[in-house]
Amino acid sequence: MATLSKLVQRCVTRLGMAGGTGVQVYAEDILAEMVQARFDEMFESMWWEDYMDQQTVALVAGGCTGLDVKTLWNLKRFTDIKHVYYMTNLYPLKLIPGRTNPEHYNKPDTTPYYLSPKNSMEVFCVKPNGVIGETITVVFRARPDDFLPDDDIKMDSQALIYGTCYDYLADDASNPIAIEKFRNFYNERLEQLNSSRNEQDIDLMPPTSGIDEWHEY
């Protein structure tokens, strides 16, 4: 983990070691923008544990939370939601099918089965609407605001540096060998990170905790 300014300086150092590039002081703003862009790309490519969060909240009318989750939780996009669980159910709600009319399931006091996007501060709601006061647990990635120079970036520094240097060199286009080298470094580092995330034991037969109720209307 490193700050944005430190990552930029490390990129300048690495680029300065690559012959044929013209890295100068004025390029630091460009590199900072490239680090941010590379972070955004990596952020959406995997469920990074350092940016995962979990919140349990009571339902209000309409199957919603009644909260500005964009501000309170940094849950800024529907696609940042990994799972939503109703009460103590073991398995998450399903995404509502694209051709399904959400209003068909706009029913209070009925067990939720689907998760539906909501274009508002609440980001999502559940369908049917559930029981007011009962809880849902939301597992999601908390998306940070764009980084300032002294902000820590909780993402693998090497991957960010390799990806940023590759982007800069690709725009500069003066050293094809260095471009290919950093591209390979970046892809190899992502593979390493992805492999390391899969080393934990996964329970293939988790214990059940009762039967989820669902009534079709």
Instruction: Write the pLDDT tens digit of every residue in 20-44.
Output: 555 555 588 999 999 999 999 999 9
> Which residues, 6 or more positions from 157, have their beta carbon under 8 angstroms from its beta carbon?
1, 2, 7, 10
- Are 168 and 31 spatial neighbours (Cβ–Cβ below 8 Å)? yes
Model-wide pTM > 0.75: yes
Instruction: Report the alpha-carbon distance of residue 108 to residue 59 in Å, rounded.
Output: 11
In sequence order, which residues have a C-beta less than 8 Å from that of residue 91 and are 6 or more positions away? 85, 212
Q: Where does residue 159 fall: left (phi above 0), alpha (psi -120 to 50 degrees), or beta otherwise?
A: alpha
Number of helices followed by number of strands (H, E) in the chain = 5, 8
- Are residues 192 and 155 in contact, defined by beta-carbon separation less than 8 angstroms? no
Please report, for the chain, the start and end positions of each structural domain, with discontinuous segments joined by +: 2-46+155-197, 49-141
pLDDT tens digits, one per residue of 42-61: 999 999 999 999 999 999 99
